[in-house]
Amino acid sequence: MNSHIARQLLMKEVQNEFGRTYPFLKIDFSRGRGDKQVSGGGIQNNGGVTGVGHEEGVPEKARALLWDAFGVKDDMKVSELEVLLQYEFGLPAQVLRKSGNLWLETRMTQHWTLREQNDHGHDIASITDF
């Protein structure tokens, strides 16, 4: 499988896996913070999960990357996860929080934990779902 396609599949599955655990958050690889532009080359071989060999292994590799390699937990800060994702994929990554029908940047609250962000998104949804 082409390494570019494998990279895209892994990124998509990382987004899906993250969203299953944190339904009011999502990872966006298409936005960057500030004016920085990062070129999207290949995945850098920096000790992370790289070189996805076939489609069947992609979900398992995504789970291993998030939960084992990155150690994603409820008390991880948004900014920490964004740095890990950018390091692994060589692309700007941003965690967005659901607010009604919109996905908002977490720039002003990037020091919050993933659990705090997700709970806040849940609270907003419960207010707007009456």
Could you read off the pLDDT of 35-62 as tens digits, one per residue? 333 333 333 333 344 444 446 689 999 9
d(CA 60, CA 64): 6
- The per-residue pLDDT for 101 is 87
Count structural domains, the chain.
1
Residue 102 belongs to what domain range?
Answer: 3-128
CA distances 28 to 2, 56, 80, Å, are 23, 23, 15
Q: Taking a C-beta distance cutoff of 8 angstroms, is the pair 106, 78 a contact?
A: yes
Write down the mean pLDDT value for the chain: 82
Contacts of 36 (CB under 8 A, 6+ apart): 92
Can you tell me which residue has the tokens 């076939």?
A: 54
